[in-house]
Chain A
Amino acid sequence: MKSRRMFTSVIGMVALALAATGCGGGGGGAAAEYPQKRIDYVLPFDAGGESDITARLQQEKLSEILGQTVNVSYKPGGGGALGWSELTRTAPDGYTIMGSNLPHIILQPMLRGDAGYTTEDLKQVYIFQSTPNVLLVPADSDIQTLDDFIAAAEENPGAISVGGSGDFTANHIGTLMLSDMAGIDLTYTPFSGTGTAVPALLGGHVDALMSYTPQISQLGDQVRAIAVATEERMESFPDVPTFAEQGYDLVDGAYRGVSVPKETPDEIVQTLADAFQEVNEDPELIKAFEEQGFVLENYGPDEAAALTEERTAVYEDLLTRLGMVP
């Protein structure tokens, strides 16, 4: 461990030196020399959540690759909307990058009327991680399988309460998608983040939790995971069945990436995207992601835009049918 740290810090210093000499050389366009100063990596959420843990895992590697300090800070409020609306008013110079989540940046502008930004205002640089939805019940619940859960919901329409992290989040839309596919009536209760939703499940105040996969390992034997919203079973959780294999084609979750203002020059976006891609190839980060229950994703700027478009269509269709789009 020690020698590796030494090694990485040497690499960091070499990178810094290279960057310094690069600056000294002069000439070239402004974008070609990017980055020349500290980069602010802003999270529009409180510290301590999944986005924060991810950023902390990336921070050191990013600094090494970009040759500049990367500083993580927080601008929470409005489920992320406050930060994203401010990003649209930030200088498009690549020195402020902000964590951005799907489906949040799709659903807030779609459902909130005036969210202070539109999905297209944000230029997604890279999507590097996702946490699929997982349906959890307390370990002592009678519900053993997804079929049990759906049967219970059919028996008592509207009486089964499902907690989740906030409004217009992946947990929220996942609950709506499940209700829609199974033709059941669930009551979704939003909590302010996963942190307050979990005790509501453990204390039996909600019947189930639509949450993210890291909670499976974090909560251990206090909960039972009855279905995960991935295409195939996850390697980290081979015993947890998917929704699909239990008859419901639900594949969804929160995708985490970074965005910059849409006017940012393409070269800068590419430099950043390459850096995040390189971070994602680091074996240590890959191992840490796996331990956390995160799924590694590699969506460059174009792929991220395509994914966003595809998800937007799915959500718009569902929410229009539910009468939720204003």
Chain B
Amino acid sequence: MFEALGQGLLANLAPSMLLLVLIGTLSGMALGAMPGLSATMGVALLVPFTFAMDPTPGLVLLGAFYMGAIYGGAFTAILVNAPGTPSSIATALDGYPLTRQGRSEYAIVGATMGSFVGGIIGVVALIFLAPPLASFSLRFGPQEYFWVAMFGLTIIASLASGSLLKGLIGGLIGLLIATIGIAPVGGDVRFTFGDPMLQGGVPLVPALIGLFTVPEVIRLIALRTRDAQMADDNGKKAGLFGMVKDILGRPVNLLRSSLIGTAVGILPGAGGSVANLVAYNEAKRASKHPETFGKGEIDGVIASESANNGTVGGGFIPTLTLGVPGTPPDAIILGVLLLHGLRPGAELFETSGTLVYTFILALAVSAIMMVPVGLIAGRGLQRGVMALPVRYLAPSITVLSIIGAYAIRSSVFDVFIMLALGIVAYLLQRVGIGGAAIVLGLVLGSIAETGLVQGILTSSGADMPWTTFFTRPISLILIAMCLISAVWPMVQKRRARKNLPEAAPAVAADRAEND
């Protein structure tokens, strides 16, 4: 292994390879930053270009592109509240409030350093722990996926520390939307109202843009002043070096979130869209000042971005060792491996060790390159957006949103879904129901449903199949985690009240109420 690792390292130090990784990372970032253009789609678009290359550089380019695309999602999430990919949902929760406070540069630096650490930790796990982690991931069956989704739903309790009831209403709306379309198990057609386009359900990316971005565009348009600009206080407080130092001074959060990302990435069927939310929730729970989350807390941005780049390395663990793609972009890269006649498995690491390790190490090089590239290009983008008056910014975001919603399935129908959800989300925000809880319900609804029905089907040999949800060891651990996660925000609140009897109880994490 170490010999192949060394050869892989040497291969990565070749100038042509470094250039390829740089191109991959940069183009990935650019694509990831477009709302609606997901990493999966970008990787699929890139595949034909790699056919003209030898396998190693082709795979390296795809890997670097993937890493960059996951990171790029942070930019629009932070700057205009448009999570560029589902992996950046939680980034928007605190990144955009930071922007509104004029601290977008700080948020970008946080996202960059978080992505860097997450990317590296995922790769380290991939190099040293792939076989044992992959076999552990197989112990997650339908029952466990059900509980993972339940655990995700408990995040509603922490997102909505203002009003649990409103959070639950939002979550339920999301779960209801998730039932539209063909049932994931059983194939029944549900709530399509006779429109075949709805058979595919409400697609996640247009929904994300609708629920997060459109309400903000409406808010920007409603600003009174014609030449209004987004606030930008950057540079007045700390220089770049100070900001980087500040971010790296939070090693526990960086490490915890990266490990969560890696772990969730290993589970096929969960992936980046779940990882960033779980890491965000854990960062909030561990925080000494959880009430600042949702209002521009840099730890929230760091958690989300460390986690989603952690899923890159984590996702390749089952992909390369078992031939089971950990995340959707992995499925495409697995396809490319197969096209070149490379079969995943322990054998792959022996017979094509140099290729495999060159690829893996290129992911790490890509993560390292994100730092200078992100701090230069990313901050340039940030300055550009901030300098733009709202009367240009709002229409630009609208155009990007429409393109993004259309692009995912080349479908005008999805644009209408986005606009309709956007208007609904704007109205719901006014009564204090935030988009985040709806998105949670939407993302996790089908994972929970699939796990529940499949769990009952696969254990049909048992007398009472549903009891298997409460008897399997990993399920029990997950149930305990659900309980802790659901109860913790209340404990936190009580403790805060006890410590600061004179302070007003934490009100409304919902941004709408701060408007």
The complex places the Cα of A263 from the Cα of B200 at a distance, in Å, of: 25
Are A79 and B182 within 8 A (Cβ)? yes
Residues in A58-91 with C-beta less than 8 Å from chain B: 59-60, 72-79, 81-82, 85-86
With a cutoff of 8 Å between Cβ atoms, the chain A residues found around residue B344 in the complex are: 218
**Contact between A47 and B40 (Cβ–Cβ < 8 Å)?**
yes
Q: A56-B335, A112-B187 are in contact. Are A161 and B458 (CB under 8 A)?
A: yes
Given A60-B51, A111-B187: A218 in contact with B339 (beta carbons within 8 A): no
Q: Which residue of A lies closest to B459 (CB)?
A: A161
Binary CB contact string for chain B from 173 to 189 against chain A (1 if under 8 A, 0 otherwise) = 00000000110111101
Knowing A199-B268, A203-B140, say if A167 contacts B186 (CB, 8 Å): yes
A220:B187 contact, CB within 8 angstroms? no
Most buried by A among B43, B48, B142, B187: B187
CB pair B331–A195 under 8 Å, yes or no, is yes
In the bound complex, how far is the Cα of B413 from the Cα of A277, in angstroms?
Answer: 35
Separation of A316 and B203 alpha carbons in the complex (Å): 33
Please judge, given known A-B contacts A205-B458, A220-B347, whether A75 and B323 are in contact too, CB under 8 Å: no
CB atoms of A167 and B187 under 8 A apart: yes
Known: A5-B52, A199-B324. A187 touches B460 (CB 8 A): yes
User: Which residues of chain B come closer than 8 Å to A200, judged between CB atoms?
Assistant: 141-142, 454, 458
For the complex, is B501 an interface residue (Cβ under 8 Å from A)?
A: no
Q: Nearest CB to that of A202 among chain B residues? A: B138
Asked if B100 is at the interface (CB within 8 A of a chain A CB), the reply is: no
Contact residue among A85, A112, A189, A222 (Cβ-Cβ distance under 8 Å from B185): A189
Contact B322 A222 (CB under 8 A): yes
Cβ < 8 Å to A, chain B residues 48-99: 48, 51-52
Contact status of A203 and B138, CB under 8 A, knowing A81-B196, A82-B196: yes
A255 at interface, CB cutoff 8 A: no
Known interface pairs A52-B335, A75-B409, A205-B141; A47-B44 also in contact (CB < 8 Å): yes
Alpha-carbon distance between A114 and B324 when the two chains are bound, in angstroms: 33
Residue A92 interfacial (CB < 8 Å): no
Is A53 a contact of B335 with CB atoms below 8 Å? yes
Residues of B within 8 A of A52 (CB): 332, 335
Looking at A22-30, A152-160, A241-249, A266-274, the stretch in contact with chain B turns out to be A152-160
Interface residue? A264 (CB, 8 A)? no
Asked if residues A159 and B460 are in contact (CB atoms below 8 Å), the reply is yes
Query: Of all chain A residues, which has the CB nearest B47?
Result: A56
User: Could you say which of B47, B137, B457 contacts A189, with CB atoms under 8 Å apart?
Assistant: B457
Q: Name B454's contact: one of A75, A160, A191, A203 (CB within 8 Å).
A: A191
Tell me the bound Cα distance from A314 to B496 in angstroms: 68
Interface size for B (C-beta < 8 A) is: 59
Interface string of B442-472 (1 = CB under 8 A from A): 0000000010001001111100000000000
- In the complex the two chains form, what is the Cα distance from A291 to B410 in whole Å? 33
Cβ of B194 within 8 Å of any chain A Cβ, yes or no, is yes
B318 touches A (CB below 8 Å): yes
With contacts A47-B335, A189-B458, A195-B331 known, is A77 near B181, CB below 8 A?
yes
Per-residue CB contact flags for chain A residues 267-295 toward chain B (1 = under 8 Å, else 0) read 00000000000000000000010011000
Whether B383 sits at the interface, judged by CB under 8 Å, is no
B199 proximal to A (CB < 8 A): yes
* B185–A190 CB distance below 8 A: yes
Q: Does B201 contact A (CB under 8 A)?
A: yes
Most chain B beta carbons < 10 A, residue from A53, A114, A200: A200
Interface residues of A in 140-168 (CB under 8 A from B): 156, 158-161, 163, 166-168
Choose among A160, A166, A202 the residue with the greatest number of B CB atoms under 10 Å from its CB: A202
Tell me if A226 counts as interface (CB < 8 A to partner B). Answer: no
- Given A81-B199, A113-B189, A190-B187: A195 and B325 interface contact (C-beta under 8 Å): yes
A205 touches B189 (CB 8 A): no
Residues of B within 8 A of A74 (CB): 41, 44, 409
Residue of A nearest to B197 (CB): A82
Q: B48's contact among A46, A59, A117, A196, by CB below 8 Å, is which? A: A59
Contact check: which of B184, B196, B347 meets A85 at CB < 8 Å? B196
Residues in B with CB closer than 8 Å to A217 are: 343
Q: Known interface pairs A75-B409, A76-B200, A167-B186. Does A114 touch B194 (Cβ–Cβ under 8 Å)? A: yes
B interface residue numbers (CB < 8 A to A): 40-41, 43-44, 47-48, 51-52, 137-142, 181-182, 184-187, 189, 192, 194, 196-197, 199-201, 203, 268-269, 318, 322-325, 328, 330-332, 334-335, 338-339, 341, 343-345, 347, 409-411, 450, 454, 457-461
State the 3 A-B residue pairs at the shortest beta-carbon distance, nearest first. A77-B200, A116-B196, A159-B461
- A sample of 27 cross-chain residue pairs with beta-carbon separation below 8 angstroms, ordered by A number, consists of A47-B40, A48-B328, A48-B331, A48-B335, A53-B335, A56-B47, A60-B51, A74-B409, A76-B409, A77-B200, A78-B182, A79-B187, A82-B196, A82-B409, A86-B197, A115-B199, A159-B461, A163-B458, A166-B187, A188-B457, A189-B185, A190-B454, A192-B184, A195-B331, A200-B458, A202-B322, A220-B345
Known: A161-B459, A199-B138. 10 other contacts (CB 8 A): A47-B335, A48-B328, A78-B200, A111-B187, A188-B457, A189-B454, A191-B454, A198-B324, A200-B454, A202-B322
